[in-house]
Amino acid sequence: MYYEANVLKRRDVASLGAVEAAFREGPLAAALRAAPSIERRCGLGADAFEREYRRGLRPVVMQGAAADWPAVREWSFERLAERCGDTRVVVDSYSSQRARETTFAEFVSLLNGNTGTGTVPLYLQEWYYQEHCAQLAADLPELDIAQYDFRRELYGEAVSTNHQLWIGQKGGITRLHQDSYMVDVMHVQLVGAKRWSVLGPRANLPRTGDGRANFGRLVDHPDTELMQCVLEPGDVLYLPAQWFHRIELLEDSMGLGRKCLDPIHLQLHVRQRMAELLAIALNAEEVKKTHPELFNVVMARNRTWAGRMNIDLSKLRP
């Protein structure tokens, strides 16, 4: 079995739990309190974005860049339930223990009832709304700065606009991860506020001689580049490929995950896609063991992707 030495990259339950605990009340929580903010820019044009951030692979928050979007001005849980109430969704899909399938309308009524001390916040993560609720896309216009997304050329327009919605309750968490397939993150905050904690792509959490994660080494190393920001409605965060990120919902929240493939990452992107498909096709049992929390998410993601490319999964060849 392949052994991943960097604990930040491991997807088994124990490693995920150790990193999350360190963020909640351990060494990473303390480091975060002293961590610098990601730069915030108001009125940043496409050329300046390109020159000052994308070429240098530096994160930036574009304050209010989507403030005039219909989704930012008009959306609420109830409004979406009126428009997509019958759509089937998997709530808490990032947790093998809590994942459950329901309708969007039922999810919203669960949210309303899920309050008080001791309740675990509900989170609809990585929802490919365009599969069954495509009409929402009209409220989420394309960003000027996202024109470089090479997935258009690679897979066609439908897949390049294969964006995800993240809808959840105050206190919800998306654990630290790097996005798959070498894509850049462009996250648009639509409703509510959330805190992003990010680490640079070279961040490394090794183990000590007795096998425990060495958080001291992580926190002290310059490659860790720990930073944070709070996104408010209308803000857009650009995070270059391979930056680690952890998200905490400070209020009930909705966000749009708009991914972009920079052509400089094309070869690695294709390799990762192929590696994932081959692992699922040829080695699914082992992948279930190494990625127990994410196996179903990866399957759902690939089914959606195939659907948007009109690939019939019941056939080897059309």
Ligand X SMILES: O=C(O)CCC(=O)C(=O)O
Which spans of this chain sit near ligand X (rule: CB under 6 A)? 166, 174, 179, 185, 187, 245, 247, 255, 257
Dihedrals φ, ψ of 312, to 5°? -90, 110
Nearest residue to ligand X, scored by beta-carbon proximity: 257
Taking the complex as a whole, the smallest distance from the CB of residue 247 to ligand X amounts, in Å, to: 4
Nearer to ligand X, 125 or 224 (CB): 125
Q: Judged by CB, which is closer to ligand X: 100, or 221?
A: 100
Q: How far is the CB of 50 from ligand X (least distance, A)?
A: 21
CB of 209 to ligand X, least distance (A): 33
Structural tokens at position 25 = 């009340």
CA distance 71 to 83: 13
121 vs 292, beta carbon nearer ligand X = 121
CB of 190 to ligand X, least distance (A): 11
Contacts of 210 (CB under 8 A, 6+ apart): none
Least distance in angstroms from the C-beta of 3 to ligand X: 25
Give the DSSP letter of residue 145: G
Q: Give the 3-state DSSP-derived string for 186-221, with helices as H, strands as E and coil as C.
A: EEEEEECCEEEEEECCCCCCCECCCCCECHHHHHHC
**Cα–Cα distance measured from residue 298 to residue 125, given in angstroms and rounded to the nearest whole number:** 12
- Closest to ligand X by CB, 122 vs 247, is 247
Residue 150 or 181: the one with the smaller Cβ distance to ligand X is 181
Cα gap 94→244, rounded to integer Å: 16
Dihedral angle over CA of 297, 186, 83, 112, nearest 10: 70
User: Toward ligand X, which CB reaches closer, 49 or 243?
Assistant: 243
CB of 257 to ligand X, least distance (A): 3
